[in-house]
Amino acid sequence: MFPRPAPGHRLATATGLLALLGYLTTGAWADPHVPAPPLRPVAELKAPTRITPVSPAAGSTTPLAAFAIQSTAKVGDSPAAVSSPGYPARGWYPAGPRSTVLAALLAAGVYDDPFRSTNLAKIPKADFEVPWWYRSDFTVADTARRTLLDFSGVVSAADVYVNGRRVAAAREVTGAYTHHELDVTALVRPGVNTVAFRIRPNEPSKDLTIGWLDWLQPPPDRNMGIVRDVLVRRGGPVALRDAHVVTKLAVPSLATADLTVRARARNDSDAPVTAEITGAIGPTRFGGTVRLAAHETRTVTFSPAEVPRLRLAAPRVWWPAGMGGQPLYGLDLTARVSGTVSDTAHESFGIRDVRAPLNAAGARQYRINGRPLLIKGGGWSPDEFLRWDRGYAEDRLRYAVDLGLNTLRLEGHLEPDEFFELADRYGVLTLPGWECCTKWEGQVNGTENGEKWTPADYPVAKASMAAEAARLRDHPSVISFLIGSDFAPDATIEKNYLDALRAAGWNLPVVSAASDKSSPQLGSSGMKMTGPYDWVPPEYWYAKREGGATGFNSETSAGPSIPTLDTLRRMLTPAELDSLWQDPGAKQYHRSPSATFGTLSLYDAALAARYGAPTGLADYVRKAQLAQYENVRAQFEAYGRNATDPQEPATGVIHWMFNSGWTSLHWQLTDRYLDQNGAYFGAKKANEPLHVQYGYDDRTVTVVNNRHTTLRGLSARATLFDPDGTLRYDGTAAGLSVAGDGAHTNALTLPDSVPGLSRTYLLRLVLTDAAGREVSRNVYWLSGEQDTLDWPRTTWWYTPTTGYADLTGLASMARVPVAARATTRSDGGTSTTTVTLRNTTDGRTPSLLTDVHLVDGRGAPVLPVRWSDNEVGLWPGESVTLTAVYRTADLHGAAPRVRVSGWNTPERTVPAPCGSPHWAPCWTATRANRTTASWRSSGTAAG
């Protein structure tokens, strides 16, 4: 994020939600329809009984299944006792294999739901200002093989013990991203063994770990714990490490790809050995021998020069979603000593080419497989308590694809391996990098949080870069690493990072910063971080200045994103809901701890001035959805149209943010429960593959083609209406053609003035293909009174608005009945509900922003769900058919229903029964599948 106000301005509060808090030892969250466990004193808890059986196979990696944790303030026994098998651990808390301290305590029911109201603020911070013990037992049947502990993700540092002996000190195991491998062969015994970590408190301003700034109210434990797997490795005398494949794709032909396989062979024994290394990539086999002295490590390389078959003809090329497929290859390596398997390694990878030079305007322009790519993305947030659930991550990645986004930026908070595996599979590009405003930029950031570095910090930072480079380099979804965020590193830090990246065989672009900064070797970042982060009008995005649609904007949005009423009622108390719409100056705990973003005053002022003062909570929320839809749509449409600007092209935009790590009132396209508001559907509309749109700056009607091929024979029609439906203008442009890969063509320009047109008016755009079929529709609500921006008073977080567009005329729109008919089909655990909407009014008034929500028997949203379209505008007699795809299990045994509402459409709910007598009822199928549902589906929908 961009430089923030001084730390003293931060609030010390927070909020919550979730009966999803059954994270327990498996890391999965409980079904929220099941009551949360009652609060229990420590004495009632019993030590976990899960003991991890370790595979004896050479090359095996077994993750520890669970931990027991306890504060050192409550443990008087010695480290030797705590880390010895048989230690009773009475009164300790169960924790998952990847769990912060607070995540485990929440799962145990120690604290109330932290995502509701201000419950998070009630959790005492003092409990986390001392170290905590993590201990786990594992069994080994055969001690003939070597045994090693392999881990990263310790927040922030730890002393490590095995069977009563310390094997590493906290000064060695420090930093959330550093990778550690400890040889514990001499300590392991047949039967039960114990590993224990004495985790030190996390201080993001002092430690190179993980911190939060103004995204959300920070967790009281500051995420101390172990948030990645602790692996027990077994093997013989020779270990294989760091296996990876460097790919070189022929561009632009894509006809061939050179694969170079590298790995480190390490002799862990006291005697010299000869190891046979064999490998395979699909049907391609290769191998060789390597002689290793005692404890020697050598890099083994197989390239097309030695193995011609590693030059692939007609390779299966990996593409981002919407541009092609996402094929993956697999590398398998085996090391044998005297014919016996000593170790194995496996790595998945994709073949693609990524380049990101600076264009003539100095902006970073990404190209993938030879094609220019407009980065359209969002900022990714993990769960506030760093709880990992693969299914929930997968749901959010599906949403990203559904929105037409191609990229997610991770500012620190780098997720586990599975996240990047899912991104590979779904074709979602990722921009990982270090975070701002903590120790990571303490040496260079001036006034931000983060202390200056000591000599001990430099090797930790370099080791962190080496570990993450090795982990991320083979994922085709990863297209860069940003070694700075708000600030670029100095010469020493940059050199350490670049040396680590080169040593890891990194062959992707490296960017100096996410802001407009430079570093000595890399030079200019080619990115900008000029805001805004709070409310600006839609016109803002079209100005070729500040955060407007030129260059690459690494984090930006109009700030607040008010969730649906369903979500608001889960996260706020009745009194807080009243304050939300009645008091613009009220501190909103669910916005930010920052004084800059602590209220909704800017947003609320604009909402009231443009749409009229809210008359109640429901009116406030419905106006918010209009405002968010138009603003997010304009942001992505402006960048999309300007991608091919001849002078100052737009090359990338990251909406700040894509999602929130908790129940939030700002910076999100989808909320914590995966419900979808105006911001979501505004983004989805703007990013559709073939799109007709309006330019707020020049009144042009433009067709943008994000498909690869040129399209011809298109027709664009633009009609202007008063709010009561009176037609004031009708214009058509026929015979249009538009090239592919983000090109656009201007179809027509709306007149500056239209006789009789009201101050507030509606614009309907319809694009049809050569056969007359509608292929894109877009509805705008506009004003003859324009928003006025005070550009000279621009700050790092917004540009003031001194005059507002008059959209109050929308309040005069007549209530319009919309008929709805819905049916459902279920198959293989997935249901599809088809909804046909029709404006049945006898008058002229259209329905505006008509929303359809899939709900269960209690009226609660069924989430996640992917709609073909939503929040649509319908003129009298018009109809539209929408589809919703979701997991049948998320109905929780209820029959599906659809709830229809809108700006001027009375709310009603209609059944969506299964549409064929040959199909079993959807809700019957739900009961059969219910045991497979996890919190990620149902729990994100209900509280």
- Among 36, 668, 625, smallest CA distance to 381 is for 668
Main-chain phi, psi angles of 917, to 5 degrees: -65, -15
- The two tokens of residue 212 are 């939060």
- Among 553, 468, 484, smallest CA distance to 520 is for 484
Whose tokens are 């101390």? That residue is 224
Tell me 174's DSSP state: B
Task: Give ∠ CA 634-769-710 in degrees, rounded to 5.
Answer: 75
Radius of gyration of the chain (CA): 29
- Among 30, 175, 7, smallest CA distance to 106 is for 30
Burial class (CB in 10 A: 0-12, 13-18, 19+), 759: middle
Strands 311-313 and 297-302: unpaired
Distance CA 822, CA 894 (A): 15
Contacts of 933 (CB under 8 A, 6+ apart): 31, 887, 889, 890, 892
Main-chain phi, psi angles of 539, to 5 degrees: -60, -25
- Among 577, 561, 662, 631, smallest CA distance to 940 is for 662
Stated as kind and residue range, the H or E segment containing 285 is strand 284-292
Q: Of 353, 486, 648, 688, which one is the catalytic site residue?
A: 486
Total residues belonging to the chain: 943
Distance CA 223, CA 590 (A): 19
- Classify 323 as helix, strand or coil: coil
Contact at 8 Å (CB) between 900 and 907? yes
Active site residue 486: yes
Calculate the alpha carbon distances from 591 to 6, 117, 452, 556 in Å. 18, 12, 30, 16
Distance CA 277, CA 341 (A): 10
Tell me 81's DSSP state: H
- Among 336, 331, 347, smallest CA distance to 58 is for 336
Distance of CA 418 to the CA centre of its chain: 13
Q: Of 347, 353, 555, 890, which one is the catalytic site residue?
A: 555
| Helix spans in 332-416 (H) | 390-402
Active site residue 583: no
Strands 225-226 and 99-100: antiparallel
Residues taking part in catalysis: 486, 555
